[in-house]
Structure 1
């Protein structure tokens, strides 16, 4: 978008901003808040400034999110479990429980502004009261280990979505830094997750594992924070064929704001909106109107300077609406994800 485009924002877009709704499939805010004093995560997390889920200096703070999206903001808060916990006092399951307990304490203490939400319809109730709807998710299936009873625990905790791997290998499958596919136990784990309506997330899963998943999954799955590999050839991004499988099975793909997944730019250079919009445009060319969503990766990655905080999301919406139309922007920013989770809960 050019400077003249921003000055000539249409009345239709201005009206949309007054009632803007947002549904973001992925962030790392929980870890950034409750693990900020634990090495080695102090240096791994993108921002370690203090505060709580409502007021902080991170990208996502519920107080600012509610102002940015007057129509309501639903946020999937991931418990990111790193592959290597050897220098911490935690096992993967203990790590998950530690961050989960923080999420529960925060949503209980701040229920007027941060509503813990275990289904998509109740999120709309939270929005009506002016609250951010907070959904619990997990990034990395390592807490499951080889014990399917943990899946029961995740379901009881209200977990809505689980990323099967991070970058390395666990008992379920292998991430994009490794080459193995899905294990026999991983197939059982997917069936257990689907039984509990916990959405399977393939972001970070390698190509072999995703190919194996296609023979196992019976329900729609998502890539919560992945872009197009045809536009930016990073292994964390999706091939056209992978996107097509997600599309044909009724899933979602969340556009990731991480600069390295948007474009390969020289050190010190920022990515542009034009470069990010190429991912949107390419997915639309593959029939992705009802597939596209947001997967910001806020508070866990290096995002563009113009899209570094929740406060920047309304301007991002304006740019998307001006380039692709308000109907598509509305779908991408909220409607597709809301409808997906509503379907997941009843089918």
Structure 2
């Protein structure tokens, strides 16, 4: 078969895998111009479709930003910051400035301290070697914070291109669609969305006559919980509305299971409240630590659910980490799931996560 290329983004057309770059249905091959499905939806429906690429492909693609001049907008998931921060980003984008955008603000409890959240996002990025110019909190789904961010982008970009980067499942396509809607109006379809010489895999959405907002494919980061759970389980662990805190009064040597996807042992300390912030649909089960191993062996995927059978077939074994808390009000963060707030210093806990998805500590956000 003759090689065909999308006249929108320049990617080679393929008709086999709808979730990969360059997909077009066979019926589209007779059209003029030939567009991949991603470019077709942008041109005719004003929508950006999310696609994913491997780590290696992403590195090759994004490294081209370092040879250009523009602003990098790095979108991360507030519920999975460690999994959605791209550690190699500074090396790839060169001296181009980076602003960090935390998405899914609407799902946090209204009592969340947004100033502390911004500080934590900035320090998390810094710990990975990412120096950011500014930090913003938004909701792609609800539109919260979009106007403020859009104005800041205009200031920071200094009449240069804007590159939007992020891992899969951070809401990048929804975010870009919000920006398109804001700049063009809901019913005003973009008719000129493609510049000559567009880099393979990028989609360029004009900001003015000389610069563009550039969408990049999402990177698949295997340190994200999302890649180990079934579609059914993903719906259970992903909040779809404001999460409600669940409070457990625990004595030492008691354990909380978050479905069967994570576990927290109260090893040592005074009786106290453990405040849990997870998707409202994710069951939490309390038991004695002495019984926890047997309970997990016999009931994961049943009483301790999710995981379902599909998730069980791909979920890595648990690894554990012990933390002795030295400050008042500390969060134990379970990436991709949520967090537990513990109020008293001097408390010792042990966290269990699937291997590669590590728990961490931060100052409490609430």
With the length of structure 2 as denominator, give the TM-score of the two structures: 0.27
Greater RCO (CA < 8 Å, at least 6 residues apart) = 1
Higher strand share: 2
Q: Max radius of gyration: which structure?
A: 2
- Normalised by the length of structure 1, the TM-score is 0.28
Q: Which has the higher helix share?
A: 1
